[in-house]
Amino acid sequence: MVIEATCLRTTEGFVVKKGSLIEKIDSDSIPPGIKKKRQTAKIDDGGILQEDILFTSPSYAAAFVIGGHVNGLTAWTKSDGKTTLKDIEASEADEL
């Protein structure tokens, strides 16, 4: 199964969008708070998220999607699959 999720950066945090495909199996490295959020989230039998979920960091949002520990700055990419959140944030810093 290919995991494919959409995340939106907002002023409140990072929102994993409804319709995202979520890994259904938790790894041993999943943070406890994320594991609990996965257990209470509305995810259908096919692994499709049925609601938007807000997180305080990109890493927590990515961990929710993959079911394990991950660096959200490098895991989240634009639709081109190459430009990472880290790249985006670096280019924004250059503009200041």
User: The domain containing residue 71 runs over which residues?
Assistant: 7-95
Give me the number of domains the chain comprises.
Answer: 1
Confidence of residue 14 (pLDDT cuts 50, 70, 90): very high
Report the largest interatomic distance among the alpha carbons of the chain, rounded to a whole angstrom: 45
Question: Is residue 86 in a domain?
Answer: yes
Does 18 reside within a domain?
Answer: yes
Judge whether 2 lies within some domain: no
Q: What is the mean pLDDT of residues 69-74?
A: 94
Instruction: Calculate the alpha carbon distances from 46 to 3, 10, 17, 28, 66 in Å.
Output: 11, 27, 16, 22, 14
Alpha-carbon dihedral sign for residues 41, 46, 47, 53: negative
Q: Does any domain span residue 74? A: yes
Q: Is the pLDDT of residue 96 over 70?
A: no
Q: Could you read off the pLDDT of 20-71 as tens digits, one per residue?
A: 999 999 999 899 999 999 999 999 999 999 999 999 999 999 999 999 999 9
Q: For residues 39 and 86, give the distance between their C-alpha atoms in angstroms, rounded to a whole number.
A: 29
Whether residue 45 is contained in a domain is answered as yes
The Cα 40–Cα 9 span in angstroms is: 22
Report yes or no on 13 lying in a domain. yes
The pTM for the full model equals 0.90
